[in-house]
Amino acid sequence: ELLHFQVIPLACGYCVRTGSTREYLARGSGVDVAGEYNNLEQVPPSPGEVHEALGTATRRLSAQDSEFEFKGDWNKPDATFVSSDQRASVEVEFVGQTAVLVHDRGPQGRLVRVTIDGREYPPVDMSGKAETSVRTCLAAGLEDGPHKLRLWPLLAWRQGTMFVRGLEVADGIAPTATLRAK
Q: How far is CA 129 from CA 22, 88, 108, 132, 166, in A?
A: 32, 23, 9, 10, 20
Domain boundaries, the chain: 1-43, 59-170
Confidence grade of residue 59 (pLDDT, cut at 50, 70, 90): confident
Q: What whole-number distance in Å separates Cα of residue 78 and Cα of residue 60?
A: 17
What superfamily would CATH give domain 59-170? Answer: Galactose-binding domain-like (2.60.120.260)
Query: Model's pTM, two decimal places?
Result: 0.68
Instruction: Identify the pLDDT of residue 155.
Output: 87
Instruction: Identify the pLDDT of residue 165.
Output: 96
Cis amide prior to 153 (ω within 30 degrees):
no
pLDDT of 110-132, one tens digit each? 999 999 999 988 899 999 999 99
Question: Which residue type is seen at 3?
Answer: L
Confidence grade of residue 50 (pLDDT, cut at 50, 70, 90): low
Q: How far is CA 126 from the centre of its chain?
A: 12
Q: Can you tell me whether residue 1 is helix, strand or coil? A: coil
